[in-house]
Amino acid sequence: MDATLADVVKSKDLRLWEGFPVVLGNSAERGMFNYDMVKGYLKKPVDKSYLVSLMVMSLALYKVLNLKFSWADKFYKSLPGDRKKEFNSFLEKLKKDEDLVVKPYVVSSQRLKSTFNNYFSQAQSKLSDWLSIKEEFSLEYSLSQVFSPKQKELFLKKLKGEKLTKTEKEYFSRVVKKKVLALANPELHRLSQKLLE
């Protein structure tokens, strides 16, 4: 997926750029996104700059749609001041449905939103059948606080009723199940809620 993201950046094709937040969101949710790897596929400084702009544009879109990714806050904090200004500019323009400028290109706010929303309205999975998009991303964020990427992957596979390999079953029983049992403990849940009051 890292190579795919790099190809989208290099294409300079606005239709593909409008789909960048979708590809990025999918990659991150599946634990298949590595910023340094994507950057490594880009040789030209201008393409590396476009990558950051498209990342910042995606973060602004997620913010407008109230979606949360576990990696997004870290990436935002690592940005230099001028990129944070770019984020704020994109955020305001998205709220007003104004075009976004990634010099010398212009990206349509409306098409960016509709591409993202259309993809997720068409996406079919057992998980998204009973979770709204917002809840699904919120769940991803919460799971990332408790489970490692591999543990999270097994948790979701089990939840969706997908078949686990023998090794995965053993690892699930030995490690993941213990965490799930702890999370399901009503007393722990009650005490956690009390701490947050």
One pLDDT digit (tens) per residue for the chain, 197 residues: 788 899 999 999 998 999 999 989 888 877 788 899 999 999 999 999 999 999 999 999 999 988 887 788 889 999 999 999 999 999 999 999 999 999 899 999 999 999 888 877 665 454 555 455 556 666 767 788 888 888 988 988 888 888 899 999 999 999 999 998 988 888 888 888 888 87
Note whether 5 and 24 are within 8 A (CB): yes
Beta-carbon count within 10 A of 73 CB: 12
CB-hemisphere CA count at 13 Å for 195? Answer: 6
d(CA 48, CA 36): 11
User: Any idea where the domains of the chain sit in the sequence?
Assistant: 2-122, 147-195
The span from the CA of 157 to the CA of 159, in Å, is 5
